[in-house]
Amino acid sequence: MKNSRGIYWGGLLIILGVLWLLRSMDLLHIQWSLILPYWPVLLILAGIILLLGAKERNASGGLVGLLITMAVLGGIVNKTDRAIDTDNWNFGWNDHDRWDEDDHDDEHHEDRDEDYAREHSNNQGTKALNGNYKYEMEDFIEKASFNLEGGAGSFTLKGNTDKLFEAKTRSNLIGFTSSTSVNKLDNSATVNLKMEEGDISIKNGEIKNEAKIQLNHKPVWKVDLGIGAGKGNFDFSDYKVESLNVSTGVADMDIRMGDKMSVANLKIESGVASVTIEIPSSVGCEMRIDGALNAKSLDGLDKVSNNLYRSADFEKAEKKIFIDFEGGLTSVNIKRY
């Protein structure tokens, strides 16, 4: 048993260390999109080793465990391939990066805002490589939906705007598209922001695609966030968020909720990710967790039953947040503020 554990952990650390070292030295260039679909081969090798090494249970057991772990990781990452569009990823250094252009282009972007507003009035989509998006707030809008589809990059949502929606995007090679529609019959609006498909450049370990987003604080919002990889910092403390759905692959997510609604529902599905959720101490919280190999740090939540956690004041709290979390190999953290 000890030999089995040594082979498992030692082999895993050696593989991860070698891959990371070669990548840091810019000596490793792997087209993962060509390799990941064949992750079941690792399970086949594990089965062969079990058949051939039946007498050496300790040694074969460790190697089998290592192969199964790598297969699970490969399967999870391959599952997120559609969202991340890894066929177009470029893991080499890209010296033709247009990210560091001077900010004097902002004046040009401001001139284009009027064009975006006119296109919005005609319910037309807009797109730009580096650009601004603004949609006017109508007095009749009482509820709104915001849908974000981001492949890989850095996404920030914070602060208020007198517009219905406002976003500033910057990208090295990929543009964004955005559209909005309104429905006067039910006093609602829908806003979409989507990253186009294309090459993704990674330089010095950073993805050079960014979107900074602001919403109007008056409507009751339903938010749907889809992020393949990268980092997301979403501060909803100033918004009336009725429901929030988050789907992410390999990402670092920070989510801050507020106390503007009597009931708020969060549904989070994540792959290999780190997710931190901040919740006001005045709000009762119930959280359900489903998934394997998750690391948990649940500040202020007590275990009620299997996979169910609640704050001590949940039943008496006037305002409540319900969290449904599903993930694999994820670090999930709850913080109270």
Give burial (CB, 10 Å; 0-12/13-18/19+) of 237. middle
Cα–Cα dist 16/272, whole Å: 15
Mean pLDDT of the chain: 75
**Greater model confidence, 298 or 61:** 298
In the chain, the percentage of residues whose pLDDT exceeds 70 is: 56
Cα–Cα dist 102/95, whole Å: 17
* Segment 144-154, tens digit of pLDDT: 999 999 878 88
Please report which confidence band the pLDDT of residue 36 belongs to, taking 50, 70 and 90 as the band edges.
low
Enter the pTM of the model. 0.63
Specify the pLDDT at position 330. 79
Please report which confidence band the pLDDT of residue 313 belongs to, taking 50, 70 and 90 as the band edges.
confident
Specify the pLDDT at position 111. 38
Please report which confidence band the pLDDT of residue 78 belongs to, taking 50, 70 and 90 as the band edges.
low
> Looking at residues 187-215, what average pLDDT do you find?
77
> Looking at residues 325-335, what average pLDDT do you find?
87
Query: What counts of helices (H) and strands (E) characterise the chain?
Result: 6, 20
Q: Check if the beta carbon of residue 72 is closer than 8 Å to that of residue 17.
A: no
CA torsion angle for 50, 53, 59, 62 (degrees, to 10)?
-10
Specify the pLDDT at position 324. 96
> Looking at residues 290-308, what average pLDDT do you find?
85
Count of CB atoms situated within 10 Å of the CB of 327: 22
- Listed ranges 25-29, 60-64, 123-127, 306-310; the one with the highest mean pLDDT: 306-310
Please report which confidence band the pLDDT of residue 229 belongs to, taking 50, 70 and 90 as the band edges.
confident
> Looking at residues 317-323, what average pLDDT do you find?
97
